[in-house]
């Protein structure tokens, strides 16, 4: 059974339709939206971490890092 979901990605700013062959198993659509938003917000040296505990994604950690060499020029 295919699962279809429509959402707006911050980076693309247009609706995106996903046609999945299987339903999501480890995340919800809301979590996927938050992950996408976090990836769109971090700078070029940023990181987005997902922390999974007891089979469930519990934490989304966003780290925005700057290049120290370029920052002091």
Instruction: Please report how many Cα atoms fall inside a 13 Å half-sphere around the Cα of residue 51, on the Cβ side.
Output: 6
Q: Is the pTM of this model over 0.85?
A: no
Could you tell me if 48 and 42 are in contact, meaning their C-beta atoms sit under 8 angstroms apart?
yes
Q: Return the domain boundaries, the chain.
A: 3-71
pLDDT of res. 9: 46
pLDDT in tens, 50-66: 888 887 788 888 888 77
pLDDT value for 11: 52
> Which residues of the chain register pLDDT less than 50?
1-10
* Residue where the block lists tokens 């996927």: 32
pLDDT at 12: 53
Task: Write down the pLDDT at residue 8.
Answer: 46
């Amino acid at each position: 059974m295919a699962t279809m979901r429509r959402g707006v990605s911050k980076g693309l700013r247009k609706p995106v339709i996903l046609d999945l062959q299987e339903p999501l198993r480890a995340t919800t659509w809301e979590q996927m939206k938050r992950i996408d938003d976090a990836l769109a917000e971090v700078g070029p040296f940023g990181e987005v971490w997902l922390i999974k505990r007891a089979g469930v994604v519990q934490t989304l950690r966003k780290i925005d890092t700057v290049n120290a060499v370029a920052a002091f020029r």
